Amino acid sequence: MPANLPPEYFQTERKYRQAKTPQEKISSLEEMLMIMPKHKGTDKLRAALRRKIARLKDVIISQKYKGGRRASYYIDKEGAGQVVITGLPNVGKSSLLRAVTRAKPEVADYPFTTRTPTPGMMDYEDINIQLVDTPPLSEVAEPWFIDILKRADVLLIILDLTDDPLKQWEETLRLLRTFKIIPKDVLQDIYGFTIKKIVVALNKQDMPGASERLANFKWDVILPLISIISISAQKNENLDLLGKHLYQALDIIRVYSKTPGKKPDLNEPYVLEKGSTILGLAERVHKEIAAKLKFARIWNKKSNGLRVEKNYVLCDKDIVELRV
């Protein structure tokens, strides 16, 4: 099957070839992956681009920064997906990370407490989602900070319900736009911009006047492709629902493996992109199994051991028995 790559892909490929730093090259490669259509014809190319990204990550990690040079930070992706927390000063980003992970970022009432990225793992049902706290958005940002925002699978934007959330939202979008980052729901197909899936969490819903400000925000901001939730990091309110919103925004599914004649393993699911097939799962399990795969059987709410072929599209929480 031909790849049928769009013109934007080749434009970004030229940008990749002109890039001078590993960070710039990774940014271009990830943009190429987002532009590339997902079908069998692009599977090998997609895998090759991911290998290039992995090698560039190794280069970055191995670099030693000597005296007089600016510090650089790189957060390896772990868990089911990487969610980068961002927002204006004092909206409660670090408090949220403390509340839902075991990370211990510094929390204070003064702005710009966070100066370096801090990762933590958030439990969601039977998987972990990586959250990364970052410095507040401002007019001036280090290249590593912009790179972390662009590399994220999802951006979690925090707004403060003790102030006007609409003004914060507009300022946040403006600052992100200066870094050439736009939400998926706002504008599409702008050359040179990184389009990101976004979840908006309005923090401090327990404070006086928060309900009215939340209602006004929802009335003014109609964003069908952006998930909006109100929370209180301080009082642990709605944090379980936040996990659900982040999971949905990641566009992933969980699939459980089953060995013939045995009970399924429901403790450690395989995490795949939405739209993945039986063959895609087999490739994740082992390349030899994928090469010898004949068919599979699935169990879910609608099927009980139904035989399916390699191109069967998997759903969340399917139980799969691969047959070779």
Residuewise pLDDT in 10s, the chain (324 residues): 566 788 888 888 888 888 877 878 888 888 888 888 877 778 888 888 888 887 777 666 555 444 444 456 778 888 999 999 999 998 999 999 999 988 876 655 545 555 688 899 999 999 999 999 999 998 878 888 999 999 999 999 999 999 999 999 999 999 999 999 988 865 555 667 888 899 999 999 999 999 999 998 888 776 766 889 999 999 999 999 999 999 999 999 999 998 888 888 888 899 999 999 999 999 988 888 889 999 999 999 888 989 999 999 999 999 999 998
pTM attached to this predicted model: 0.75
Tell me what pLDDT residue 110 has: 45
Q: Are 204 and 232 in contact (CB under 8 A)?
A: yes
What DSSP state is assigned to residue 242?
H
Nearest Cα residue to 270 out of 257, 258, 287, 259: 257
The C-alpha atoms of residue 249 and residue 241 are separated, in whole angstroms, by 12
Q: Where are the alpha helices (DSSP H) in 223-307?
A: 239-249, 278-285, 287-292
Residue written as tokens 């090698």? Answer: 55
The length of the chain is: 324
Q: Are 230 and 238 in contact (CB under 8 A)?
A: yes
Q: Which tokens belong to 1?
A: 């099957």
Q: Which option is the CATH number for 82-249: 3.40.50.300, 3.40.50.920, 3.40.50.261, 3.40.50.2020?
A: 3.40.50.300
Classify each residue of 96-106 as buried b or exposed e, where b means 16 or more C-beta atoms within 10 Å of its C-beta: bbbbbbebebe
What DSSP state is assigned to residue 179?
T
In sequence order, the β-bridge partners of residue 202 are 159, 230
Domain ranges of the chain: 7-62, 82-249, 253-323
Q: Which tokens belong to 254?
A: 């969980």
The C-alpha atoms of residue 314 and residue 256 are separated, in whole angstroms, by 11
What DSSP state is assigned to residue 289?
H
At the topology level of CATH, where does 253-323 sit? Ubiquitin-like (UB roll) (3.10.20)
